[in-house]
Chain A
Amino acid sequence: MATYIMLSTLTDDGRKTLKSRPERLKEVNKEVESMGARVTAQFAVMGGYDFVNIIEAPTNEVMARITVELGSRGSIQITTLPAIEIDDFVAMLTGDGPGGD
């Protein structure tokens, strides 16, 4: 499973939905799971984004589907960043890993 960092910002509609139905936050996790991925950590944050989700998904395609699915509701704007475990990244750079020389 690959890891993705999903940074999301609420739209005006999203803020209204959150206020009237806060439990939607958790329901979204179930939907992500039903699409074949798993939310491993989730934070509400202050600053340039409203939420940071760490998601494990089998492929980029699954992740793209999740992004489109969630984004299409008009409640959040999403930036998804594919993440690499730091150990794998170092191994890759030193040539020990799968992407090394």
Chain B
Amino acid sequence: MPAYVLLSRLSTEGMKAVVEKPERIRHIREVLEEYEANVLADYQLLGKYDHCTVFEVSDNFRAQKAALQQELTSSTESLLLPGIDIDLFERMVKQEIRTDGPHEWQISWWAKTIRILFRWRHFSRHIWQACKPFTVTGKEHFSGLKGPCIVVGNHTSHFDSLALFQALPQRIKWNTYFGAAADRWFLKNGGGRKELELQPWYNSLAGASFPIKRGGGSKTLDYSKWLLDQGANLVIFPEGTRSTSRKMSRFKHGVSLLALDRKVPVVPVYLTGLAKLRPKGTREIFPGPASANIQPPIYFDEGTSVEDATRQIFDALNTVHQRVLDHGDEAGRWDWTPDQ
């Protein structure tokens, strides 16, 4: 049975009642027992709280009801803390989040072919339904790219990866992969949820994603390097997570480490309008205009430091971000000038 700790503070009225009739202090215990609680310990305290009762009861709802009832009848203000058995808690903290993937087969010809069949279901239909209209500018920047590249974008919505994918030319799209949080999208056996059991496999195949362990250090980049070595393109959101403020979050160094190590260019893409379609924290979709504005590729000079490379990528997107804040979504185009 779950345990609870109830810390309560007597009001002046409650204190008067206890002084007049000391047995009254047992009232808290009596009320809890009325709700079939098993009181394990009961103390009067000195300090911030007046009374502490540790009890077991069948569920949170009953515990809350009992706590409320004793507040009403004993003239106390209380704090109900649901307790977790310390051994169980220790076991829970020790438990590792097990994830699945990456799946190297995702770059094989058959996986790429199947992915084309999934394109409408996984990517295009969402953009078609929510982005009205969806505009892509600067596509010509991809025409000069021969080898693999890393596409980076600002991150404000779950729609970002879908929009970015939609904006890429066919030649790039065919062989592009997305880094996705391992603890969110690649949970082994669906993290115990039967309906999500196939999620890692589906995301590798249809979503062209691969797991990135948050806080996993440079080892997490091994698979990304392998993908680049195989001639694949990567899409990474260097902010790490979706940003909710008007200010762009600090960029993580992963993209620079990869680009410098494998000597590949970085293509920044500034996305607009997507945060309004499905803001962070909501499931509802509000259709509206959105755009993907592809900026000129960044090639790093020999000897560029990781910090400098990250700064260059950040500056490329942040300059556009400031323009958009000042002049509206139209200013997201790479060739936008103030006279337009």
Chain A residues packing against B (C-beta within 8 Å): 3, 5, 7, 18-19, 22-23, 25-26, 41-49, 52, 54, 79-86, 89-90, 93-94
Is B333 in the interface zone, CB < 8 Å from A?
no
Is B292 in the interface zone, CB < 8 Å from A?
no
Minimum C-beta distance from A92 to chain B (A): 8
Given contacts A81-B47, A93-B18, contact A45 B86 (CB under 8 A): no
In the complex, which residues of chain A have a beta carbon less than 8 angstroms from the beta carbon of B285? none
- Given A54-B41, A89-B22, A94-B22, 8 more A-B residue pairs with CB atoms under 8 Å apart are A43-B3, A44-B89, A45-B81, A47-B82, A52-B54, A81-B49, A81-B52, A84-B45
Q: Which B residues, 23 to 39, have Cβ-Cβ distances below 8 Å to chain A?
A: 23, 25-26, 29
Minimum C-beta distance from A34 to chain B (A): 19
Some 12 contacts from A to B, beta carbons below 8 A apart, are A7-B7, A19-B93, A22-B93, A46-B82, A52-B81, A54-B41, A54-B54, A83-B44, A86-B25, A89-B25, A90-B25, A93-B19
Given contacts A41-B54, A43-B5, A48-B79, contact A86 B44 (CB under 8 A): yes
Size bracket of the B interface: 20 to 34
Nearest B residue (CB) for A82: B46
Whether B25 contacts A82 by the Cβ 8 Å rule is no
Given contacts A5-B43, A44-B86, contact A83 B80 (CB under 8 A): no
Given contacts A22-B94, A81-B46, A93-B18, contact A45 B54 (CB under 8 A): no
In the complex, which residues of chain B have a beta carbon less than 8 angstroms from the beta carbon of A26? 90
In the complex, which residues of chain A have a beta carbon less than 8 angstroms from the beta carbon of B169? none
- Measured in the bound complex, the distance between the Cα atoms of B82 and A22 in whole Å is 20
In the complex, which residues of chain A have a beta carbon less than 8 angstroms from the beta carbon of B22? 89-90, 93-94
Given contacts A45-B84, A84-B44, contact A22 B52 (CB under 8 A): no
For the complex of A and B, list the 9 residue pairs with the smallest distance between their C-beta atoms, beginning with the closest.
Answer: A43-B83, A93-B22, A83-B43, A45-B81, A44-B89, A89-B44, A22-B93, A81-B47, A47-B81
